[in-house]
């Protein structure tokens, strides 16, 4: 059990014991509601800290264990008029300061490549392509996005097969403040 889970469990068990031992008279009811509010705030703060550590993930270097043709830094050049998003990812606050992007794929010289792209409405964040072979370690290909950048930012593009082995992909976008994230796995399709 994590320390945050133990803390929430302790707070709620103390609150329950307190509420069961008192009548719901004026002061007791107010005290109970305040304690319940504090427990809820503690839970939300704990969850938001956990989520802020989720993306971007830390992994092996993007190019580690690959040949020169397996990872391309020119993903923007791979975009064509027929390149469609595999899924639309969007995080934001009431259509203000949004981060939006998508995982993408396309053919290059008979090989399929995957990459991520992201843009924003005045928000800082980024996009990350994670890849791995079988149950190996995740490799981290990430690009940060600054709020003053009006263009799309791309991750490197990675081949769907490396060393004749199938590659698994995950693409995530995130917004820095407040931290929001959205991800796609190629195994979800």
pLDDT tens profile 22-31 = 554 555 555 5
176 & 107 share domain: yes
Residue 117 backbone dihedrals phi, psi, to 5 degrees:
-140, 155
Distance CA 127, CA 57 (A): 11
CA atoms of 129 and 122, how far apart (whole Å): 22
Cβ-in-10-Å burial (0-12, 13-18, 19+) of 8 comes to middle
Beta strands in the chain (DSSP E): 60-61, 71-72, 89-93, 96-108, 111-120, 125-133, 139-145, 153-154, 157-159, 161-162, 165-175, 180-185
Q: What are phi and psi of 102, to 5 degrees?
A: -165, 155
E strand map for 27-95: 60-61, 71-72, 89-93
Count of the separate structural domains present in the chain: 2
The two three-digit tokens of residue 178, written as one number: 């407040």
Are 81 and 132 found together in one domain? yes
One domain, residues 116 and 68 = yes
Q: 20 and 105 share a domain?
A: no
Average per-residue pLDDT for the chain: 78
Do both 110 and 182 map to the same domain?
A: yes
Q: What's the predicted TM-score (pTM) here?
A: 0.69
Domain range holding 42? 3-52
Q: Are residues 122 and 146 in the same domain?
A: yes
Rounded CA gap, 88 and 168, in Å? 19
- Closest by CA to 49, choosing from 8, 96, 90, is 8
Kindly report, residue by residue over 25-70, the tens digit of the pLDDT: 555 555 544 444 444 433 333 333 333 346 677 778 999 999 989 9
Which tens digits make up the pLDDT trace of 126-157? Answer: 999 999 999 899 999 999 999 998 899 999 99
Q: Whose CA is closest to 155, among 165, 169, 140, 142?
A: 142
């Amino acid at each position: 059990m994590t320390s945050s889970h133990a803390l929430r469990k302790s707070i709620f068990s103390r609150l329950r014991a307190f509420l069961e031992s008192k009548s719901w008279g004026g002061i007791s009811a107010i005290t109970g509601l305040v304690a319940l509010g504090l427990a809820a705030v503690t839970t939300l703060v704990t969850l938001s800290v956990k989520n802020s550590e989720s993306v971007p993930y830390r992994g092996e270097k993007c190019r580690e264990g690959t040949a020169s043709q397996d990872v391309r830094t020119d993903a923007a050049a791979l975009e064509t008029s027929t390149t469609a998003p595999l899924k639309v990812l969007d995080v934001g606050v009431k259509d203000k300061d949004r981060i939006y992007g998508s995982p993408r794929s396309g053919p290059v010289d008979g090989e399929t490549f995957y990459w991520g792209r992201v843009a924003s409405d005045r928000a800082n964040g980024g996009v990350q392509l994670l890849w791995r072979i079988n149950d190996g370690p995740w490799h981290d290909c990430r690009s940060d996005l600054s709020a003053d950048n009006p263009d799309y930012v791309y991750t490197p593009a990675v081949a769907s097969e490396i060393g004749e082995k199938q590659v698994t992909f995950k693409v995530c976008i995130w917004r820095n403040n407040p931290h929001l994230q959205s991800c796609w796995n190629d195994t979800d399709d």
